[in-house]
Structure 1
Amino acid sequence: MSRSGVAVADESLTAFNDLKLGKKYKFILFSLNDSKTEIIVESTSTDQDYDSFLEKLPENECKYAVYDFEYEIGGGEGKRSKIVFFTWSPDTAPVRAKMVYASSKDSLRRALNGVAADIQGTDFSEVAYDTVLEKVSRGAGSH
């Protein structure tokens, strides 16, 4: 497998740890810098509303994202929280961008310890709350 040679910026790891350990953010959007050499933090948010996260995903551009996904456990066990990694690669994004994001994903994904689920989104139905909830909660009993 060819390596894309894309580095993960220190700020990206710091932001991820702030989300994971410090619960400082609800979600983080990552993108490639202009020269496509580094994965950087594009934005962070403390907004608890999942729709606010979806609104940040552009229709024609690729992104990576990490979301601290909270959901209720059945049987009165209360809330559970899992970190979900998103690769957002809409069908309408330029082919070249999709290729670069696909080949660079592993660099970022490997650097982020503690991610519970991976979601690949090519359209909004694949990143809808219920779709993610099903994937995240399905894995809840197996770990």
Structure 2
Amino acid sequence: MASGIPVSDDCVEQFRNLKHRKHKYIIFSLSPDMRSVVTLKTSSDASYKNFLAELPDNECRWAVYDFEFEKDSAKRNKICFFSWSPDTAKIKQKMVFASSRDSLRRCFDGIHMEVQGTDPTEVEYDAILAKALSSTR
């Protein structure tokens, strides 16, 4: 069941920019009044560690990250959609985020991988790399 919370046009525009390599990652959240999905931050910083630092310990976020890796001596990339819902986030926020996720995800054409994380081990570099390698032919 969808929450009916609309996605701002800026979210879609920033995703297009990421696909055209203008951004490395985008962080999304609910607006303060919890009535729409908004872009919180865009970055061209290639550091996965810095990207992970954008995922707060006690609040939910969505993110899109252009994950680069090597397989068979070739550089590859996968656009990853992250649903970050830490166990320590408030129950109401987790419920609204979960019910709004599909509305946001449907706006993005070209996602290669989806990652759901509730603790840092689920989104650490090695876990994402393993998932990317296993899903690449």
Asked if TM exceeds 0.5, the reply is yes
User: Per-residue CA shift, 1:90-114, capped at 9, x if unaligned?
Assistant: 0000011000000000000111000
Aligned match of 2:2: 3
The answer as to 2:131 corresponding to 1:135 is yes
Matched-pair identity in %: 47
**1:34 shift after superposition:** 1.4
Task: Give the whole-Å Cα distance in 2 for the aligned partners of 1:136 and 1:97.
Answer: 29
Q: Which moved more, 1:129-138 or 1:60-69?
A: 129-138
Number of aligned residue pairs: 137
Secondary structure of 2:136 counterpart: coil
Q: Deviations over 1:101-140 (max 9, x none)?
A: 0000000011100000000000000000010111112111
> What TM-score does the superposition give when structure 2 sets the normalisation length?
0.98
Query: Aligned residue for 2:88?
Result: 92
Note the residue ranges of structure 2 that are not aligned, 5 or more in a row: none
Q: CA RMSD in A?
A: 0.7
**How far apart, in 1, do the equivalents of 2:52 and 2:28 lie?**
14
Tell me by how many angstroms 1:3 deviates.
Answer: 2.2
Query: Which sections of structure 1, spanning at least 5 residues, go unmatched?
Result: none
Moved over 2 A (4+): none
Q: What's the counterpart of residue 14 of structure 2?
A: 15
The residue number in structure 2 matching 1:125 is: 121
SS at match of 2:89: coil
Q: TM-score, normalised by structure 1?
A: 0.94
Q: Deviations over 1:4-28 (max 9, x none)?
A: 01111000000000001x2000000
Cα distance in 1 between the residues matched to 2:136 and 2:77: 10
| Contact 2:2/2:102 (<8 A) preserved | no
**Distance across 1 between alignment mates of 2:84 and 2:108:** 17
- 1:71-82 map, 5 Å: 71-74=69-72, 76=73, 78-82=74-78
Which residue of structure 2 aligns with residue 43 of structure 1?
41
Describe the SS at the equivalent of 1:67.
Answer: strand
The aligned residue for residue 107 of structure 2 is 111
Which amino acid in structure 2 is aligned with residue 14 of structure 1? E
